[in-house]
Amino acid sequence: MNQVMEIDRLNLHYGDFHALKEINLGIPEKTVTAFIGPSGCGKSTFLRTLNRMNDLVPGVQIGGSVKLDGQDIYGADTDVEVLRKRVGMVFQQPNPFPKSIFDNVAYGPRLHGIRDKSRLNDIVERSLRGASLWEEVKDLLGKSALSLSGGQQQRLCIARALAVEPEVLLMDEATSALDPISTLKIEELVRELKKEYTIVMVTHNMHQAARVSDRTVFFLNGELVEAEETEKLFSNPTDARTEDYITGRFG
Amino acid sequence: MRMSNKTADRIATAVFYFFAFLIIAVLASLIGFILYRGLGQISWHFLTSPPETFKTGGGIGPQLFNSLFLLVLTMIITVPLGIGAGIYMAEYSRPGRFTDFIRLVVEVLSSFPSIVVGLFGLLVFVQYFDLKFSLLAGALALTVFNLPLMVRITEQGIRGVPREQKEAGLALGLTRWHTITKVLLPVSLPTILTGTILAAGRVFGEAAALLFTAGMSSPRLDFTDWNPLSPVSPLNPLRPAETLAVHIWKINSEGVAPDAAQIAAGASAVLILTVLLFNLGSRWLGRFLYRKLTASR
Ligand SMILES: Nc1ncnc2c1ncn2[C@@H]1O[C@H](COP(=O)(O)OP(=O)(O)OP(=O)(O)O)[C@@H](O)[C@H]1O
Ligand SMILES: [Mg+2]
């Protein structure tokens, strides 16, 4: 299958701390890849190298290469803003802007230069439909995003990310702050979204990884231990450490 | 024997209530006293007429205008500088010696006694830059005194924006500049604005820094002449201008008009009312903006 992103010998240091060690991984197009592993093993750190959100951290050093469609995103000619447009992100805590629902979704497109009202309307509707939120909010577009429930806010954040038409969507424990029903909704949504987008998600919940992902990657202490088809990894892991983790012997 | 936690809690609560009431009582009696003495003096005539030196019946018109105009001038200088520096401190400065140094300068500046700022203004703006006793010299002195506060207000406002909001902007592919202007500033605007108006109240009541910069006299003003270059125009920034606070100080110490005490009382009441208005206005505006910007009705 076509690899959208290819990570080659990636190393990351926070100051003296070696947080990611020699990571090699391919992320196939239009699939869901899940990252699992105990707390502090580097899942978020790795996810954030994929759209260069770690650039913000003072004292971070990154070696190796991360390619998006064959181009090194850490290369000198990479435009970080264009990269982040192509690789969108949804965070653990829903973080809508304190603005109206409409303005939240229209935010990215507007700042990327789309002014035309009817085009914005189209984008907002399409993105909200894409995030399975349209039916619930179509009559409240002018209301504050903060008036929505947590689960709705998270889907709004997904819609906001979709509105700038990314190719890859990164989700860092996007359901961990939500109730079970909202979580199921988002899982359903992820299965729907992979028809058009490549999705990489961090999850603390192995059942969630098993339910929604095509491939699962297990991290431990900054190392990539195993990357496999989800079914294979959960039924018949190659590495003993993976087996220990998924059977609940640690972490 | 140790007190039970509950008893300790009750005592602490009572003590805090006591202090809170004490502060409120002191404040209320202070304001009440000033208003009680001064409110009776306030009339349209009082607010609009020029002062009299030897006769009764003088007003505070030019002084009131001077205070307001000086405030506007000061804010025109301070707000852009303060917000710019605040953004730098919050978003661009890297931890290190240089940043620490700037922070130290800001702290030291903000703890300068205002009379010292006034003397500095006299030496630098009035004499060295030859601005004479003028509104501009006064505004620059007030800038020295107000800028640190503006920097701090802005920096705190921007740092107060949750990290998630900032990351949300960046993750949408916004440039750093757009993230600052379109995410951080709007979210922190109510805070910054509230702080700015409070700072304005402080500027409005300042006297010591203005004695030797804006001066203690006001030329005859012609309120029909709005050409800022004309020496009798109220808008001329290079004319000397006695402000309300300075005027109060002056008539209290050397006023010879028979009603000097009443004038001072009236002027004090006007000053206090205006500062109160700033405070209430800042709260109201902050809440209004917050609701407006966040579309939460
Ligand atoms: N900004 C930072 N500066 C220094 N060290 C950091 C920083 N961010 C993370 N780390 C360290 O890097 C390691 C990996 O952190 P990371 O957040 O990627 O873990 P994680 O797998 O996402 O954990 P969790 O499941 O708890 O979210 C941890 O040991 C953490 O302490
Ligand atoms: Mg994490």
Tokens linked to B112: 């300068």
Number of neighbours of residue A31 by Cβ within 10 angstroms: 17
CA distance A189 to A130: 8
The alpha carbon of residue B121 and the mean position of all alpha carbons in its chain are separated, in whole angstroms, by 18
Residue nearest to atom 3 of ligand 1 (CA): A14
Contact A155, A131 (CB under 8 A): yes
Distance from the Cα of B95 to chain A's closest Cα (Å) equals 9
**Which one of A95, A100, A140 would you mutate to disrupt binding with B, by most B Cβ within 10 Å of its Cβ?**
A95
CA distance B49 to B60: 6
CA distance A155 to A127: 10
Contact B267, B83 (CB under 8 A): no
CA distance B99 to B81: 17
A233: which DSSP letter? H
The alpha helices in chain B, defined as continuous H runs, are 5-38, 44-48, 61-87, 97-110, 114-121, 135-159, 163-171, 176-178, 185-205, 208-211, 244-254, 260-294
Contacts of B296 in chain A (CB under 8 A): 98, 144, 146-147
- Which ligand 1 atom sits closest to the C-alpha of A173? 27
Domains recognised in chain A with CATH numbers: 3-246 (3.40.50.300)
The CA-CA-CA angle for residues B288, B293, B296, to 5°, reads 75
| H or E segment to which residue A61 belongs | strand A60-68
Contacts of A81 in chain B (CB under 8 A): 173-175
CB contact under 8 A, B172 and A164: yes
| Nearest residue to B184 via CA among B212, B207, B164 | B164
Residue nearest to atom 16 of ligand 1 (CA): A42
Say if A153 is an interface residue toward chain B (CB within 8 Å). no
Predicted complex ipTM exceeds 0.95? no
Minimum CA–CA partner of A57 in chain B: B94
The stretch A70-80 carries a mean pLDDT of 90
Going across the sheet that includes A32-36, the strands are A71-72, A60-68, A3-14, A17-28, A223-229, A215-220, A32-36, A198-202, A168-172, A87-90
Ligand 2 centroid, distance to A45 Cα (angstroms):
7
The pLDDT tens digits of the residues spanning B78-105 come to 999 999 999 999 988 888 888 889 888 8
Say if B283 is an interface residue toward chain A (CB within 8 Å). no
pLDDT at A251: 55
The pLDDT tens digits of the residues spanning A9-28 come to 999 999 999 999 999 999 99
Say if B220 is an interface residue toward chain A (CB within 8 Å). no
Contact B99, B93 (CB under 8 A): yes
Tokens linked to B212: 């030797």
Minimum CA–CA partner of A52 in chain B: B171
- Which ligand 1 atom sits closest to the C-alpha of A219? 21
CB contact under 8 A, B178 and A147: no
CB contact under 8 A, A99 and B293: yes
Q: Which residues contact A233 (CB under 8 A, 6 or more apart)?
A: A216, A218, A226, A242, A246
CA distance B100 to B29: 42
pLDDT at B297: 44
Mean pLDDT for all residues in chain A: 91
CB contact under 8 A, A99 and B294: yes
Contact A65, A72 (CB under 8 A): yes
The stretch A110-118 carries a mean pLDDT of 89
Of A53, A112, A142, the CB nearest to B167: A53
Domains recognised in chain B with CATH numbers: 42-294 (1.10.3720.10)
Mean pLDDT for all residues in chain B: 86
Say if B185 is an interface residue toward chain A (CB within 8 Å). no
CA distance A171 to A177: 13
pLDDT at A123: 94
pLDDT at B48: 82
**Which one of B172, B187, B294 would you mutate to disrupt binding with A, by most A Cβ within 10 Å of its Cβ?**
B172
B173-198 burial: b if 16+ Cβ within 10 Å, else e: bbbbebbbebbbbbbbbbbbbbbbbb
Contacts of A93 in chain B (CB under 8 A): 164
Nearest ligand (C-alpha, residue A36): 1
The gap between the terminal CA atoms of chain B, to the nearest Å, is: 54
With a cut of 50, list the residues of chain B below it in pLDDT.
297
Say whether B272 sits in a helix, a strand or coil.
Answer: helix
CB contact under 8 A, B162 and A82: no
Contact A160, A100 (CB under 8 A): no
Contacts 24+ apart (CB under 8 A), B282-288: B282/B193, B282/B194, B282/B196, B282/B197, B282/B198, B282/B201, B283/B194, B285/B190, B285/B193, B285/B194, B285/B197, B286/B190, B286/B191, B286/B193, B286/B194, B287/B190
* Residue A171 confidence (pLDDT) above 70: yes
Say whether A96 sits in a helix, a strand or coil.
Answer: coil
Say if B175 is an interface residue toward chain A (CB within 8 Å). yes
Residues with CB under 6 A from ligand 1: A 14, 17, 19, 37, 39-45, 57, 204
The alpha carbon of residue B235 and the mean position of all alpha carbons in its chain are separated, in whole angstroms, by 20
The pLDDT tens digits of the residues spanning B209-268 come to 888 888 777 777 777 777 777 777 778 777 888 888 888 888 888 877 778 788 888 888
Contacts of B92 in chain A (CB under 8 A): none
pLDDT at A250: 67
CA distance A78 to A219: 28
CA distance B50 to A5: 77
